[in-house]
Amino acid sequence: MIRALLKRGYIATRRLALLPLRAVVKQVIPETAGLKNILFLRHDGIGDMVLSTPVFRALKEGIPHAVLTVLAGPGNRDVLSGNPFVDEVMLYEPGLSGTVKMLRELRRRSFDIVIDPFLTYKLHTAFLALLSGAGCRLGFAIAGREVFFNLRCPEADDRRSISEQTLDMARALGLNPRDSMPRLYVSTREREAAWESLKAKGAAKGDILVGIHPGGRYESQRWPAGRFAMVADYIMSVYNARVVLFGAEGDREAVQFIRKVMSNTPLLMDGVGLRSFIAALSCCRLLICNNSGPLHIASALGIPSVSTMGPTVPWLWWPRGEGHIVIRKDLPCSPCSLAVCASHRCMKLITVEEVIHAAGTQLDRINLDINAA
Same domain as 165, residue 278: no
Question: What is the distance between the alpha carbons of residues 313 and 360, in angstroms, rounded to a whole number?
Answer: 26
Q: Please list the ranges in the chain whose pLDDT falls under 70.
A: 1-4, 20-25, 373
In tens, the pLDDT along 217-241 reads 888 899 999 999 999 999 999 999 9
Predicted TM-score (pTM) of this structure: 0.93
362 domain residue, yes or no:
yes
* pLDDT at residue 153, as a whole number: 79
> Looking at 128, 143, 172, which one is the last position of a domain?
172
Same domain as 110, residue 35: yes
Question: What is the distance between the alpha carbons of residues 373 and 370, in angstroms, rounded to a whole number?
Answer: 5
Q: Supply the range of the domain harboring residue 199.
A: 192-372
Select from 254, 355, 294 the least CA-distant residue to 79: 294
CATH of residue 139: 3.40.50.2000
181 domain residue, yes or no:
no
End-to-end CA distance of the chain: 54
> Looking at 172, 200, 217, which one is the last position of a domain?
172
* pLDDT at residue 304, as a whole number: 97
4 domain residue, yes or no:
no
Strands 136-140 and 113-116: parallel
In tens, the pLDDT along 283-321 reads 999 999 999 999 999 999 999 999 999 888 889 999 999
Same domain as 100, residue 18: yes
Number of domains within the chain: 2
Select from 114, 11, 6, 130 the least CA-distant residue to 68: 114
Backbone angles phi, psi at 37, to 5 degrees: -140, 105
88 domain residue, yes or no:
yes
Same domain as 231, residue 352: yes
* pLDDT at residue 129, as a whole number: 94
Question: What is the distance between the alpha carbons of residues 128 and 149, in angstroms, rounded to a whole number?
Answer: 11
Same domain as 209, residue 162: no
Same domain as 129, residue 40: yes
How many Cβ atoms are within 10 Å of 336's Cβ, its own excluded? 15
* pLDDT at residue 23, as a whole number: 64
* pLDDT at residue 29, as a whole number: 78
